[in-house]
Amino acid sequence: MYRNLFDKLKEGPLKISILGSGNWASAISKVVATNAKNNYLFENEVKMWVRDELVNGENIVDIINKKHENIKYLKGVTLPHNLVAYSDLSRVINTADLLIFIIPSQYLESVLMLIKENQSIRIEKHAKAISLTKGFIIKNNQMNLCSKYITNFLDIPCSALSGANIAMDVAMEKFSEATIGGNDKETLLIWQRVFDLPYFKINCVNETVGVEIFGALKNVITLASGFCDGLNASSNSKSAIIRIGVKESFLFGKTFFNYSDVNVFFESCGLADIITSFLGGRNARCSAEFVKCNPKKTWEQLENEVLKGQKLQVSNFFYYEENWLCINDSITVFLHPIGCSGCYPSL
């Protein structure tokens, strides 16, 4: 048994596996597989877990492996040939040294349960994980960061990656940056080598809390920003919403996680992610359409029509926050009746 990843490297390259196959997962898979192909630290083949699904009468796993394209979630982008899709979780996880979780937050727990209950799955003792999931897991009256939830569920150290990233921009190799947070400096060095490319630059920080808090809460801010767009509100109104949302993000971090470090906010996972999201993110687009559409449509309808089946990163948050975010006059308290009760927004 290896003590750490560097001991494992003495025996040979590290094996990378990715769990998830959506828009963001596919874009990141291109980054990771490109690095694996050109780096002696990593085994050439990168495994990707994909749920069995028919697209135009053909299994999506077969499409990815034959055409090297995820035609459902990242149409038009060629994926590296060393990225291999599997529907069998055990084939993806067993023997992997590095596990990358890119599962929507509303499905993360069910996937972790599948892993834990599958008797054929064996996670290596030295393996490390990283979460690219944005959001919170609310369980047993506790609000959990995704990386911490993965660690507690699977007993595996888990870092976090978050940043100002539109998936298609990354897939098209337009310059982007991201932040990786973790507690182990040696593991951070390896994760940086996994993701860093000339067009996708990585900066590492020695904690995960701020990285994940800002990445999750920016979805609430951009939802409110999208409502402003749908109302054709002024730039002044939109700026006020964003300013208040940033202030409340810090209040949220202090209230629920005793977190108040301002430095991480100025990394890609903080301010830059907020800016990118309200300029072109999926939550802003859908919330603007939510206001404008007549007759009214559900969030699920908008996911199918506007996002082509991708999941909103914030809609499930509505159904939990009413019992949690009792801070007077907070943005989220005002968003809940608009998003869930059919109230029309006004300024």
Q: What is residue 317's predicted lDDT score, i.e. its pLDDT?
A: 59
3-state secondary structure of 83: strand
Separation of first and last alpha carbons in the chain:
61
Q: Mention every residue, 6+ apart, whose C-beta is less than 8 A from residue 283.
A: 219, 222, 223, 226, 277, 312, 313, 314
Catalytic residue among 8, 15, 128, 218: 218
Q: Which residues pair with 86 in a beta bridge?
A: 49
Q: What digits encode the pLDDT tens for the residues 275-296? A: 888 786 777 788 888 888 877 7
User: Is residue 171's pLDDT more than 80?
Assistant: yes
| Position with higher pLDDT, 337 vs 170 | 170
Q: What is residue 315's predicted lDDT score, i.e. its pLDDT?
A: 52
Q: What digits encode the pLDDT tens for the residues 173-210? A: 999 999 999 999 999 999 999 999 999 999 999 999 99
User: Is residue 248's pLDDT more than 90?
Assistant: no
**What integer is the mean pLDDT of 141-150?**
90
Low-confidence winner among 117-121, 177-181, 218-222, 317-321 (lowest mean pLDDT)? 317-321
Low-confidence winner among 33-47, 101-115, 119-133, 230-244 (lowest mean pLDDT)? 230-244
Rounded to an integer, what distance in angstroms lies between the CA atom of residue 179 and that of residue 165?
11
Q: What is residue 318's predicted lDDT score, i.e. its pLDDT?
A: 58
| Percentage of the residues of the chain whose pLDDT score is greater than 90 | 56
Q: DSSP assignment, residue 47?
A: E
Rounded to an integer, what distance in angstroms lies between the CA atom of residue 167 and that of residue 74?
9
**What integer is the mean pLDDT of 310-324?**
57
**What integer is the mean pLDDT of 199-222?**
92
Rounded to an integer, what distance in angstroms lies between the CA atom of residue 334 and that of residue 310?
25
The verdict on whether residue 313 carries a ligand-binding annotation is: yes
Amino acid at residue number 147: S
Q: What is residue 324's predicted lDDT score, i.e. its pLDDT?
A: 53
User: Is residue 5's pLDDT more than 80?
Assistant: yes
User: Is residue 314's pLDDT more than 70?
Assistant: no
The verdict on whether residue 51 carries a ligand-binding annotation is: no
Q: What is residue 337's predicted lDDT score, i.e. its pLDDT?
A: 46
User: Is residue 332's pLDDT more than 60?
Assistant: no
Rounded to an integer, what distance in angstroms lies between the CA atom of residue 284 and that of residue 104?
17
Q: What is residue 334's predicted lDDT score, i.e. its pLDDT?
A: 45
| Position with higher pLDDT, 279 vs 144 | 144
From residue 79, alpha-carbon distances to 29, 74, 184, 221 in Å are 8, 9, 31, 32
User: Is residue 36's pLDDT more than 50?
Assistant: yes
Cis amide linkage into residue 104, ω under 30° from 0: no
The verdict on whether residue 283 carries a ligand-binding annotation is: yes
61 confidence band (pLDDT: 50, 70, 90)? very high
Q: Mention every residue, 6+ apart, whose C-beta is less than 8 A from residue 347.
A: 228, 231, 233, 237
Rounded to an integer, what distance in angstroms lies between the CA atom of residue 28 and that of residue 26?
5
Q: Which two tokens stand for residue 318?
A: 């509505």
User: Is residue 270's pLDDT more than 50?
Assistant: yes
Cβ neighbour number for residue 292 with a 10 Å cutoff: 12
Q: What is residue 44's predicted lDDT score, i.e. its pLDDT?
A: 97
| Percentage of the residues of the chain whose pLDDT score is greater than 70 | 87
Q: What is residue 328's predicted lDDT score, i.e. its pLDDT?
A: 44
DSSP codes, 127-166: -EEEE---SEEEETTEEEEHHHHHHHHHT--EEEEE-S--
Return phi, psi of residue 181, to 5°.
-115, 140
Q: What is residue 327's predicted lDDT score, i.e. its pLDDT?
A: 45
The verdict on whether residue 185 carries a ligand-binding annotation is: no
Burial of residue 325 (number of CB atoms within 10 Å: 0-12, 13-18, 19+): buried
Nearest residue to 48 (alpha-carbon basis) of 101, 9, 97: 101
Burial of residue 130 (number of CB atoms within 10 Å: 0-12, 13-18, 19+): buried
Q: What is residue 335's predicted lDDT score, i.e. its pLDDT?
A: 52
Q: Mention every residue, 6+ apart, whose C-beta is less than 8 A from residue 109.
A: 137, 139, 149, 153
**What integer is the mean pLDDT of 111-122?**
95
The verdict on whether residue 311 carries a ligand-binding annotation is: yes
User: Is residue 322's pLDDT more than 60?
Assistant: no
302 confidence band (pLDDT: 50, 70, 90)? confident
**What integer is the mean pLDDT of 289-309?**
77
Q: Which domains occur in the chain, in start order?
A: 5-206 (3.40.50.720), 210-341 (1.10.1040.10)
The verdict on whether residue 236 carries a ligand-binding annotation is: no
Annotated catalytic, 218?
yes
